[in-house]
Chains A and B, each alone.
Chain A
Amino acid sequence: MTTKPPSLGVRVAGDTNVGKVRTTNEDSMILDPIRGLFVVLDGMGGANAGDIASQMARDAIAEFVLHRRSTMPMPALLEQAIQTGSATVFAAAQANRERHGMGTTCVAALMVDPTHVLIGHVGDSRAYLLRGGRLQMLTRDHTIVEELVDRGLLSPEDAERHPYKNVLSRNLGARSETRVDIVEVELKPGDRLLLCSDGLYGYASAEGIQYILGSGDEPEHVARDLIDLALRGGGGDNVTTIVLEAPAAAPSSTQIVRTNGAGAWWQRRQRFLHVAKERGLPKNPIVRGLDPNEALELVALNLCQAIYHDLEKSTGVNVWTFAQTLAGGWFERGGEWAPLRGMMDILGESSRVVVDEIRTLDSQLGFLLDVAVSRALVVAELALGGLLAERLRQVDSDLIMLHTAAQETIEGSIDELLDTGDTGDRFIDRPTIPFLRPDRQVTNSGESAEVINAIEKTLTIARARTVPRAELVKQILSSLEAIATDGAGSFATSVLAARDLYGVRTVDDNGIMPLFDALDQARILTASSVHQIQASDITRARALRAISAAHQRLVGAATGLVLEAAAPFSDKLREAQVKTSEMRDQVAKAERKRAELERRFATNVDASLPWGSRGNTEW
């Protein structure tokens, strides 16, 4: 392996953010393209020692690589640099009692040459590789639970519930020496490498990370967008990202579309408007009342521009926003689907005319643009579908309200007639809208902004403490937040949240217990997380009370769904029980008859037998 600083040719960028909950940033990083060294460190230890630990390790690692790069083999260089970082932090912790116990995680990438990189890793900061659109994790978290799973002492299922699942088994600073995992990765053209602290993957889904990392944006934008993603997911921890991109071998189809394709498309915007006008866009009811040119500019030009920007950046966000704005406004005005789909058809036909014209000039570019523009229009359909589905959900919700009101009226009338205080029926005896059960009104939590804030913080922390794959628990925690902070105080929120959960974990061969186990885990997590927020005891108590009430409502609604799903089987069971009872009666009757016959037969036979009494077999 070379010991010479590589001529890298890679593009790299990093970013860090304190997050939304913490007051100090205990993460540190190294971005040294000249030496090909990139490191993310996540400090820990309280009393302001976490940031000191990560900074000390950072400086020690950087200095070690600076002075020893030309004298050591690369794997040994990386391992010893990290060991030096650990020894430095350990020595500082021993020298100062206030800093005793401080430490830091470390994930480091050291470029060997433009196509080879070494990953060194201690703790739970991670390295990911994006290749061919697929995200792979290159590191394995060093937690006590993971080690137990590796040794076969704990099952992966039990690991997710283990109380020590977030406790690190290795870090820099706990001892003077630590075990460093080193892996070598061969980089292929266009590969992207991501180094990050747990503040990213704890608050952002793997799908989201993959989407942004694969967006084709510049590494500095990607590093920042990933941080924004974590902040939108709650931002409960410091978050640091480093994005490294291997040089591409030849212009990919994506690059061709981004450069030549986007330009060719934008040059033909007037043609696009012209075709849209010819196809009757200004006559569409959505733009009724507008001047034709104004209508064309408002709709066609905006879409043309949105497609241009999306082609340029290989995203779909602009077309998505366009479609949502157009359809959202139309639906708010009470508009129907037909004019909207007519409008989208005209825009689709106009884009096809433009792309066909480009194809006659350059068939390769025309083909790539055809695929890219068709995909952009699929994105528009996805946005419209989301709005339609949301409207459908809202109408469902309104139907529940109406249904509840109607039910109460009917029950009230029956009570008046029968003069009974309680009809005593169970919900499965009442007609309901499938999977939506409005059986009682609840009072609004009516909590102050301070308590609402405490609820949100508690649930953010609880989500952060959830293991990455426990999506169901995370969703339950999000549902609890929605219910506990719901200003309307309607039971519908709980029912809808329960229905969503039911969608995630329906009753199957494993039964309903995984769903209720997850509900229980969520309850335990929130009860312990509430103690970690900074608030007065009264506020904490109120937050916990509101979350507990929300939990109770959610469990009630989920139980309702399960019972409702089981209702047809209960009916069948009742029918079967009645039939069984009837058959038992018949069997009893038959047995009585048989006994009577046997008695008679035995009496008749006994008289003829030589031994005098029935059953005596002695001769």
Chain B
Amino acid sequence: MARCTIAPMSSGAPLAASYEALRPRILQRLLDLRSTLDPSLGRLDDPTARAQISAVLDHLGNFIATGDLGLHRAFLHTFMAMRAAEAQSPASVLAMLVAIGDTAAQVAQDEGAGTTEGAALTLLLTRVTASTARAVNDLIADELGRRLAQWTEMQNTEREGRR
């Protein structure tokens, strides 16, 4: 269920090219700062960190270009499942995604200081981060709902067993 309702992102497509041009610098900044940005990023070795961050940055580029919240949510679902398989908690995945989004916005602000395009990209990336955080929370809430249902079912079974 795609439920993201954070403000619609207009003019995403024209800014996609600006984002693509900036992406190597964003990746480099993230690799430089990863241990201080987020502990879970800091614990990864260089190739793994590069692969994980690149995957998120690639996807952000797609999202900026298409604005497709369904695809965005599907990507986040897969990303969280993969991180969960590596025993990363949902809260740390959320923190990592927000740290990546924040840094991307910061780089856009630094590199595009004083330009209209820089300002627009900064704002867009900030809103994408908000949208990502909301989508991740929706996914955690869905998972919580499933576990609560399982818990209720097990409790009922236990009560019946006692009888």
Contact = CB atoms under 8 A, between A and B. Distances in A.
Q: Do A and B come from one complex?
A: yes
Interface of A: 132-135, 205-207, 210, 253, 337, 341, 344-345, 348-349, 352, 367, 370-371, 374-375, 377-378, 381-382, 384-386, 388-393, 395-396, 398-399, 402-403, 405-406, 409, 435, 471, 499-500, 502-504, 506
Interface string B94-135: 110010011001100110000000010011001101100110
A371 B126 contact: yes
A374 B126 contact: yes
Given A389-B89, A390-B91, 18 more contacts: A133-B106, A210-B36, A337-B141, A337-B145, A341-B3, A348-B130, A367-B119, A374-B127, A375-B126, A382-B133, A385-B94, A388-B90, A388-B140, A392-B140, A392-B144, A392-B147, A395-B148, A503-B89
B130 A377 contact: yes
A390 B91 CA distance: 8
Contact of A371 (B95, B122, B147): B122
Contacts of A402: 151, 154-155, 158
A404 B133 CA distance: 35
Contacts of B87: 435, 499, 502-503, 506
B88 interface: yes
A503 B137 CA distance: 20
B58 interface: no
Contacts of B109: 253, 371
Nearest to A472: B43
Contacts of A352: 7
B115 to A, nearest CB: 12
Closest 3 CB pairs of A and B: A381-B133, A389-B91, A337-B141
B26 to A, nearest CB: 14
B140 A374 contact: no
7 contacts: A341-B134, A371-B109, A374-B130, A378-B129, A385-B94, A389-B91, A406-B161
B36 A206 contact: yes
Given A337-B144, A375-B126, A406-B158, A389 B90 contact: yes
Contacts of B6: 345, 348
What is the size category of the interface that chain B forms with chain A?
35 or more
B147 A135 contact: no
Contacts of A341: 3, 134, 137-138, 141
B123 A345 contact: no
B28 interface: no
A337 to B, nearest CB: 4
Contacts of B141: 337, 341, 388
Contacts of A409: 158, 161
Contacts of A210: 36
A133 B29 CA distance: 11
B52 interface: no
B157 interface: yes
A389 B86 contact: no
A371 B124 CA distance: 9
Interface of B: 3, 5-7, 32-33, 35-37, 39, 43, 86-92, 94-95, 98, 101-102, 105-106, 109-110, 119, 122-123, 126-127, 129-130, 133-134, 136-138, 140-141, 143-145, 147-148, 150-151, 154-155, 157-158, 161
B36 A207 contact: yes
B105 A371 contact: yes
Contact of A134 (B32, B88, B140): B32
Contacts of A207: 35-37, 39
A215 B43 CA distance: 24
Contact of B151 (A371, A398, A435): A398
Contact of A382 (B89, B95, B150): B95
Contacts of A391: 144
Contacts of B144: 337, 388, 391-392, 395
Given A345-B5, A388-B141, A389-B90, A399 B123 contact: no
A371 B110 CA distance: 13
B33 A134 contact: yes
A518 B22 CA distance: 40
A557 to B, nearest CB: 13
B147 A385 contact: no
Contacts of B5: 345
Given A392-B147, A402-B155, A381 B95 contact: no
B150 to A, nearest CB: 7
A438 to B, nearest CB: 13
A49 B90 CA distance: 50
Contacts of A132: 110
Contact of B137 (A206, A375, A385): A385
Given A341-B138, A385-B90, A504 B150 contact: no
B147 A395 contact: yes
Nearest to B143: A392
B94 A396 contact: no
Given A402-B154, A435-B87, A375 B102 contact: yes
Given A382-B98, A503-B87, A399 B127 contact: no
A399 B86 contact: no
Contacts of B105: 371
Contacts of B102: 375, 378
Contacts of B147: 392, 395-396, 399
B97 to A, nearest CB: 10
A504 B41 CA distance: 11
B145 to A, nearest CB: 8
Contacts of A399: 147, 150-151, 154
Nearest to B140: A388
Contacts of B95: 382
Contacts of B92: 503
A503 to B, nearest CB: 4
A378 B6 CA distance: 11
A319 to B, nearest CB: 13
B130 A378 contact: yes
A503 B157 CA distance: 32
